[in-house]
A = this chain, B = another copy of it.
Amino acid sequence: MKREAGNFIHPLALVESLSVGSKTRVWAFAHIMPKARLGRECNVGEHVFIEDGAIVGNRVTLKNGVMVWRGVRLEDDVFVGPGVLFTNDLLPRSPRSPWAKKRYSATSWCLRTQVKKGASLGAGAIIMPGVCIGRFAMVGAGAVVTRNVPDHAQVLGCPAERTGWVSPAGAKLLFDDYGFAVCPITNTHWRVQDNGIRPVASKKKRHC
């Protein structure tokens, strides 16, 4: 893919990758390495760093200071808040130290982290390596995510625990006593099923 037309690259940004989608904006002091891939209509804040091997989808928002390492994949419509920290190494040592050289001579130290479509990561959240964050999940500011997050889950704290469910619009769902819920922003209906939530088709709305 060639760098598409219609980008905005701030004159003080450093964009080396040719794989940047159309209408994507990159702000000052950000750096996108040659082998990073970035989709369309993204907004890349100041002081962001996207490493070789990182993959970023379409319409993703990266607020200032975010670093997207090799091994990290962000799907479409993801929001990454300011100062969110991704990681890719569970046992980090300085790679040139005599005790660590061997481990870093292969690439198996680098774990893969995935953030699925439409999820949001609040300011300063820390994502441990190898974790998968589900579709439309919302990670609270300052949370430390140590294991997978289900689709639509709201998680908070250190280590992050589930505290509710959220809709694609971002609102926390309000439940009745029967396990049915409504999104206060979009007025869509949801119910608990299989340890997660599912939309209730509008024609099948409960009568009671």
Please name all residues of chain B whose beta carbon is closer than 8 Å to the beta carbon of A138 when the two chains form the complex.
91-92
Secondary structure of the A contact surface, majority rule: loop
Which residues of B sit under 8 angstroms from A37, Cβ to Cβ?
none
Name the residue of chain B whose CB is nearest to the CB of A128: B141
Our pick among B14, B31, B97, B141 for the contact of A85 (Cβ within 8 Å) is B141
Partner of A92, one of B49, B95, B122, B168: B122
**A1-9, A61-69, A173-181, A190-198 - the one binding chain B:** A61-69
Whether A99 contacts B142 in the complex (CB less than 8 A), given A12-B14, A46-B31, A81-B87, comes out as no
Across the interface, which residues of B come within 8 angstroms of A144, CB to CB? Answer: 141-142
Please state if A91 and B170 are interface contacts (CB–CB under 8 Å).
yes
Closest Cβ of chain B: how far from A29's Cβ, in Å?
Answer: 5
Inside 8 A of A162's CB, which chain B residues have their CB? none
Which residues does chain B contribute within 8 Å of A136, judged by CB atoms?
A: 99
A130 within 8 Å of B (CB atoms) = no
A residues with CB within 8 A of B: 12, 14, 28-29, 31, 41, 43, 46-47, 49, 59-61, 63-65, 67, 76-79, 81-83, 85-87, 91-100, 102-103, 118, 120, 122-124, 126, 128, 136, 138, 141-142, 144, 157-158, 166-172, 185-186
Apart from the given pairs A47-B49, A87-B141, A93-B118, 14 other A-B contacts in the complex at a CB distance below 8 Å = A43-B95, A47-B47, A47-B65, A59-B96, A60-B94, A65-B67, A77-B94, A81-B92, A83-B85, A91-B169, A91-B170, A91-B171, A92-B120, A103-B170
